[in-house]
Amino acid sequence: MTGPVRLTTPLGDEVLRLRAGDRIELSGIVYTARDEAHLRMQKDGIPFEPEGAVIYHCGPVIGNGRVIAAGPTTSARMNGMEGFLIDKGVRGLIGKGGMGATVRNQLKGKGVYFAFTGGCAALASSHMTLKGVFYEDLGMAEAVWAIEFDRLPLVVGIDSAGGDIFDAARKQADVAFGKYR
């Protein structure tokens, strides 16, 4: 694809046409969720409409009713916890570092994983407006924050056909540097 593809939540079947490496700009409501939030949603239910939703692996810094910083956390920590969200209709996951083969398989025909660069928390927050919070008792980093995105730049890291830029990079590194390990 040429240029970034503009997407707005809730996402639909348009994400199934995206391929690993495609650049996108995401707008609309997105929900943060890290480890504790995933566990709470498994126990108490998903506090938002999951159909077409996007989950951002992030523990934002919130102050004075706004998003101060919102960099991604390492997505692999949630490898064993995404299946129930994808089964309920979540179409997108955002984080850094990619996810494992289990999630790659769970996303097939259903959704995508978007990558955002770590260390860019201020850039991310400049594209965000705070809209609400669920499970505030979990604390700032673990609560589920509803955040409106305005054209946040992302890259498709794992597509709905199983393409995975992280897996491809690991394989290239093994070929190029395997003899040094």
Q: Which residues form the domain of 53? A: 7-180
pLDDT grade, residue 74 (50/70/90)?
Answer: very high
CB environment 77-110: b (16+ within 10 A), e (fewer): ebbebbeebbeebbbbbbbbebbbeebbebbeee
Is position 126 within any domain?
yes
Is position 1 within any domain?
no
What pLDDT score was predicted for residue 179? Answer: 56
- How many domains does the chain contain in total? 1
Q: Which residues have a catalytic role annotated?
A: 38
Is position 30 within any domain?
yes
The Cα 151–Cα 173 span in angstroms is 32
CATH of the domain at 161: 3.20.130.10
User: Is it the case that residue 181 has pLDDT exceeding 70?
Assistant: no
Whole-structure pTM value: 0.93
User: Is it the case that residue 54 has pLDDT exceeding 90?
Assistant: yes
Quick: pLDDT tens for 131-157.
Answer: 999 999 999 999 999 999 999 999 999
User: Is it the case that residue 42 has pLDDT exceeding 90?
Assistant: yes
Quick: pLDDT tens for 88-128.
Answer: 999 999 999 999 999 999 999 999 999 998 878 888 899 99
For the chain, the C-alpha Rg in angstroms (whole number) is 16
Is position 53 within any domain?
yes
pLDDT grade, residue 2 (50/70/90)?
Answer: low
